[in-house]
Chain A
Amino acid sequence: QVQLQESGQGLVKPSQTLSLTCTVSGGSISSGSYYWSWIRQPAGKGLEWIGRIFTSGSTNYNPSLKSRVTISVDTSKNQFSLKLSSVTAADTALYYCARYYYGSSGYPLDYWGQGTLVTVSS
């Protein structure tokens, strides 16, 4: 059973860079037809897709965040990471990592981490 677990800073100061890591267990991050994604959810609001990475390093980002986002992967540690620069209070949210399964019709996000809360405040 694949499991994903987010970790990283819970509190970030405005204008600084948010850094999170997602550790994948129960399977190799490099095997299968998967991309690895980040999604966020402000309190009481809906879901916003941030971006995804393939283990080759190929990425896709949401244009709304593209200038500030970097997603990277470390296959040796079975991890992928998110960096979001120049954060403001609007970036305060619950951040999820998830597996994007392009080997299935519909290309769903089939496994999710439990989420980690990031607050931007001085």
Chain B
Amino acid sequence: DIQMTQSPSSLSASVGDRVTITCRASQSISNYLNWYQQKPGKAPKLLIYAASSLQSGVPSRFSGSGSGTDFTLTISSLQPEDFAIYYCQQSYSMPLTFGGGTKVEIK
């Protein structure tokens, strides 16, 4: 199985901050990397697919980059509604696997 490692596991930030979350795959996954946002009591929501493509309806302050084994999710200016848990996920090979999540909390 491909292991997905996210860092940090949690972070505290203020509204307006720039936030970067990192995801590393245990082997090259090309750009088969997706990012999800999960709020309490809700299902995960797709933010970014194919490492850097913004899902329809997702604000442009979210962006993704990377290829191979190293990927980042960036929120350019954190908004109150962005406090949530973020997961990366690889679709390069079965079984699909997720990172452990990064909890973004209010400072």
- Footprint of B on A, CB under 8 Å? 37, 46-49, 52, 60-64, 96, 98, 100, 104-110, 112-115
Contacts and interface: CB of A to CB of B under 8 A. Distances in A.
B33 interface: yes
Contact of B95 (A62, A110, A113): A62
B46 interface: yes
A98 B36 CA distance: 13
B68 interface: no
A114 B44 CA distance: 9
Nearest to B87: A47
B36 to A, nearest CB: 8
Q: Is the interface of B mostly helix, strand, loop or mixed?
A: loop
B46 to A, nearest CB: 5
B51 interface: yes
A106 B34 contact: yes
Contact of A47 (B42, B51, B98): B98
A106 B33 contact: yes
A61 B94 CA distance: 8
Given A48-B98, A106-B31, A110-B49, 20 more contacts: A37-B96, A46-B87, A46-B99, A46-B100, A47-B44, A47-B89, A49-B98, A52-B96, A63-B1, A100-B96, A106-B33, A106-B34, A106-B53, A106-B91, A108-B49, A108-B55, A108-B89, A109-B89, A112-B43, A114-B43
Chain B: number of interface residues, binned into ranges: 20 to 34
A38 to B, nearest CB: 11
B6 to A, nearest CB: 9
Contacts of B89: 47, 108-109
B50 interface: yes
